[in-house]
Amino acid sequence: RELKRTDFSGKLRTVCLGSRKSLCINMDVQKLGSANRINERCLELQKNKKSSKIKVEGDNKKGHRTKTSCGCPMLRNRSLQKQFRSEVSDHGALDIEDLAQIGRKVGTCPYYGARDMVRSADLVVLPYQSLLLKSARESLGLNLKNSVVIIDEAHNLADSLTSMYNSKVTSSQFFPIWRHISIDFRMFWELEIDVTSRP
Ligand code: SF4
């Protein structure tokens, strides 16, 4: 929003990336509620791409070729994705709500539409996770070499890094490990006593 007030608004190719939870416009998926369930369902739909054989004609020969369509109806029409990118480019700097609105208007997925614009953008606004995880950057085609990285609200960075790289261990996982460590420690302790007590 701040960028809109500057002279750069119409001059920079800008794209703003958000989560599926913020940008998904498939109501069947959106109604699942939690970010995890929305992500999982969307990825399931991507896997469920249907392959259908369609007839093609050429050189007086009839044949078949395989046409692949995405499981999510919001991604089936590639020309709508093109229209989305074109509308976003025409509007200059847009935020997540604007992207979702254009996606709804055009009838195509703004989440994937925005991601497709990363490679050609001058300015990419994105969440910490997409910036800090190498795998996320690679999946976006985001190359930081020779780029200027500005971290907003940097005091949140340490917490974000901690939450990205921590993992939970349940008590049923922890206690068997603890038991093994205790047994090994006792064996080592007894062995050391045995060695040091020899004349
Ligand atoms: S492709 Fe887009 S609209 Fe479809 S489920 Fe995924 S995020 Fe939602």
Per the confidence metrics, is the pTM higher than 0.95?
no
Q: Are 102 and 87 in contact (CB under 8 A)?
A: yes
- Which of 56-70, 79-93, 125-139 shows the lowest per-residue confidence on average (mean pLDDT)? 56-70
Phi-psi region of 141 (alpha: psi -120 to 50; beta: other; left: phi over 0): left
Q: Is residue 159 in some structural domain?
A: no
Q: Is residue 81 in some structural domain?
A: yes
Q: Is residue 174 in some structural domain?
A: no
Here the tokens at position 49 are: 């791409």
Q: Which residues have C-beta atoms less than 6 Å from ligand 1?
A: 20, 24-26, 29, 42, 45, 72, 74-75, 109, 111-112
Q: Is residue 125 in some structural domain?
A: yes
Here the tokens at position 88 are: 């976003």
Q: Give me the domain span that covers residue 102.
A: 3-151
Give the total number of structural domains in the chain.
Answer: 1
Q: Is residue 169 in some structural domain?
A: no
pLDDT, tens only, 19-49:
999 999 999 999 998 999 999 999 999 887 6
Pocket test for ligand 1, best of 23, 24, 41 (most atoms within 8 A of CB): 24
Here the tokens at position 21 are: 């939870």
